[in-house]
A and B are shown apart, each in its own frame.
Chain A
Amino acid sequence: MNMTEKILAHGAHLESVHPGQLIMADLDMVLGNDITSPVAIREFPKFGKQHVFDKNKVALVPDHFVPNKDIKAAEQCACVRAFAKAEEIKNYFEVGRMGIEHALLPEKGLVTAGDVVIGADSHTCTYGALGAFSTGVGSTDMACGMATGKAWFKVPETIKVNLTGKLKKYVTGKDVILHLIGMIGVDGALYKSLEFTGPGVAALSMDDRFTISNMAIEAGGKAGIFLVDEKTLQYLKEAGAAEPKIFSADEDAEYSSQVDIDLSTIELTVSYPHLPENTHLVKDSSSIKIDQVVIGSCTNGRISDIRAAAEILKGRKVADGVRCIIIPATQKIWKEAMDEGLFDIFIDAGAVVSTPTCGPCLGGYMGILAEGERCVSTTNRNFVGRMGHVKSEVYLASPYTAAASAVTGYITEPAALKEVR
């Protein structure tokens, strides 16, 4: 069996599983946010259980429209808060202690290798970076998970992504995943799991892996699972996560197909509107003028992303006519960035730093685009109207590219910037 099959077999208490098999698996964590939880809370009583199956295995993270953007958002958060209190949910994270869910859960040690996790948010696949089977579901599945501790799955076919080589300077996990989505398309992994393996994994940081797993869904994937190595174990230990359950693919594991990527050949990549598969090289995009830059989100709001932005913006200025919005993904990352002096760099550059929120990524608030405006964003989707007006445009890129673009006002490679004197 491959990793996906082994984790699912373990979760379903079966000797083995095969693609296409329908299984009922036990869940190690059930997650929801302020958008999806209210619907799940409404559905919860229909499952006929008095309480949640395990108050330690439910995580409720208001993050999309918090701090509350309007009265309706406030009402939704109030609903989640009341449920968390009534059910004594241990992992409810209030404003001031919260973060963007997919940066927060790993940081808090709430997911470990070998776990089976569902979340009512499509980017729940992020925890694949930790060697977990982790997938996005809807609110009814979340309600089911909270009530019963179970979810049904069709065991997916798996695509093996064999990584070799090492990334060049300024090239990150974001460029890798955009490149892969460009290769296989937005439904290239539809109903399938992606397994990231091969000698190239070792050189990828955990933050790079989180970014790559995070966007598995943008290829239609059910999961994006990395092999577990020393870096994973070190991360889990530092986060205080539960004992890892390490599953590695058998020699004769079966895959529906294989994709080979030599990391050393990947160049800075940007996805043009209005699909993540619409990839181009950053160096071929220098004529595209922009109005806004967003650096943050569950994809790229981790400390290495904020440091990357600071590395570029240090001693430089955001171009006239450009708004540069930086959103560290959790309170911990926020404090780290502040303590390292990165906020001084941002403020001196003319950028703004926001409290953790998903806000602009999904066109909620905190950076909405007007008609005709263009944004280079480190987020994950560039669909029609995603960040605002139907006739606005989102270009997806890495924090390095986004920060460099903020400096020139055009899509720009960091290496093309003038030296800081």
Chain B
Amino acid sequence: MVREGKVFKYKDNVDTDVIIPARYLNSSDPKELASHCMEDIDKDFTKSVKDGDIIVAGRNFGCGSSREHAPIAIKESGISCVIATSFARIFYRNSINIGLPILECEEASREIEAGDEVRVDFSSGTITDITSGKVYHAEPFPPFMQDLINAGGLASYMKENY
């Protein structure tokens, strides 16, 4: 699968409270959550995000709360992929479980700039910055996680295997 979009760039330690502030957690409706996604650090995100766009961030993306509402809000916003140097572990798990593609790639996280057009090939983990012309290779998923993704998420994987 290949997706292409414009980059929203963020720094290290983007926490789940800014991805979706807790004051909106009295709802679990994906559309409502998406309408407040990132608003505490980027007021323009919900106004300008388009289907297929990509988030690029630094270390420890998604740190803090275990709220699955965070990857749900990002996915529902239309974001096709999050690229970061590293992810907080619960966010990492949640993203795999709900089918939000995430890629770890330090070089890409550092060099890709806000507004760049980027293409991501999930089968090979290849990230192409069309604006700068540079190509990056993300860490591949371990086989077990690849199985989870191929099964279409945790529920179908467990149904098949347990």
Contact = CB atoms under 8 A, between A and B. Distances in A.
Interface of A: 22, 24, 35-36, 38-39, 42-43, 46-48, 64-65, 69-70, 72-73, 76, 119-122, 124, 136-141, 143-144, 147-148, 150, 152, 154, 186-187, 190-191, 217, 220, 222, 275, 362-364, 381, 383-386, 390
A138 B67 contact: yes
Contact of A138 (B13, B40, B60, B68): B68
Given A39-B72, A138-B93, 9 more contacts: A48-B155, A64-B25, A138-B90, A138-B94, A140-B155, A275-B13, A384-B18, A385-B17, A385-B18
Contacts of A154: 142
A122 B159 contact: no
B17 A381 contact: yes
13 contacts: A36-B67, A47-B158, A121-B66, A122-B90, A187-B59, A191-B89, A362-B17, A363-B21, A364-B23, A364-B25, A381-B17, A384-B40, A385-B21
Q: Which 9 A-B pairs have the closest CB atoms?
A: A138-B94, A72-B26, A138-B68, A46-B155, A362-B22, A140-B97, A187-B60, A122-B66, A136-B66
Nearest to B18: A384
A407 B159 CA distance: 57
A48 B65 contact: no
A74 to B, nearest CB: 9
A390 B66 contact: no
Contacts of A190: 60, 86, 88-89
A377 to B, nearest CB: 14
Contacts of A42: 28
B130 interface: no
A363 B22 CA distance: 6
B17 A383 contact: yes
B86 A72 contact: no
Interface residues of B, number: 41
A122 B21 CA distance: 15
Contacts of B88: 187, 190, 220
B75 interface: no
A140 B17 contact: no
Contact of B159 (A47, A72, A217, A384): A47
